[in-house]
Homo-oligomer: A and B are copies of this chain.
Amino acid sequence: MALPKGEKAAEITDHGGSLGRARRLFPQAPEPWVDLSTGINPHSYPLFELPATALSRLPEPERVCELNEIAAGVYGCPSAFNIVSAPGTQILLPRVASLVAPGRALVLGPTYAEHARAAALAGHAVSEVADIDALADADLAIVVNPNNPDGRVVTRENLLGLARALHSKGGLLVVDEAFMDVGPREQSVAGDVGHGGLVVLKSFGKFFGLAGLRLGFAIAAEPVARRLETELGPWAVAGPALEYGARALGDHAWQNEMRERLRSEMARLDTLLSRFDIPVRGGTPLFRYLEIPHAADLFDLFGEQGILVRNFAWSSTALRIGLPGGEAQWAKLERALQSSARQRVSGQRKTIS
Task: Mark A residues whose CB is within 8 Å of B.
Answer: 15, 17-21, 35, 38, 40, 44, 47, 52-62, 87-88, 90-91, 93-94, 114, 117-118, 121, 205, 209-214, 230-241, 244
A17-B57, A54-B212, A214-B235 known; 16 other A-B pairs, CB under 8 Å? A18-B60, A18-B61, A38-B58, A44-B56, A47-B55, A87-B87, A90-B233, A91-B233, A93-B233, A94-B233, A212-B238, A213-B238, A213-B240, A214-B239, A238-B238, A238-B240
Q: Which residues of B are found within 8 Å of A20, using beta-carbon distances?
A: 60-62
Take A90-B233, A90-B234, A94-B233 as given contacts and tell me if A209 and B56 are in contact as well, using a CB distance cutoff of 8 Å: yes
Are A55's CB and B240's CB within 8 A? yes
Task: Give the distance in Å from the alpha carbon of A121 to the alpha carbon of B88 in the complex.
Answer: 21
Are B214's CB and A238's CB within 8 A? yes
Who on chain B is nearest to A53 by CB? B212
Task: Give the distance in Å from the alpha carbon of A211 to the alpha carbon of B234 in the complex.
Answer: 12
Question: 30 A-B contacts, Cβ less than 8 Å apart?
Answer: A17-B57, A18-B60, A18-B61, A18-B62, A19-B60, A20-B61, A35-B57, A40-B57, A40-B58, A54-B212, A55-B212, A55-B213, A55-B240, A56-B209, A56-B210, A57-B212, A58-B205, A59-B212, A59-B214, A87-B87, A90-B235, A91-B236, A114-B234, A121-B230, A121-B231, A211-B235, A213-B238, A213-B239, A238-B238, A240-B240
Who on chain B is nearest to A93 by CB? B233
Q: Which residues of B are found within 8 Å of A237, using beta-carbon distances?
A: 214
Task: Give the distance in Å from the alpha carbon of A212 to the alpha carbon of B53 in the complex.
Answer: 7
Task: Give the distance in Å from the alpha carbon of A118 to the alpha carbon of B230 in the complex.
Answer: 9
Task: Give the distance in Å from the alpha carbon of A94 to the alpha carbon of B98 in the complex.
Answer: 13
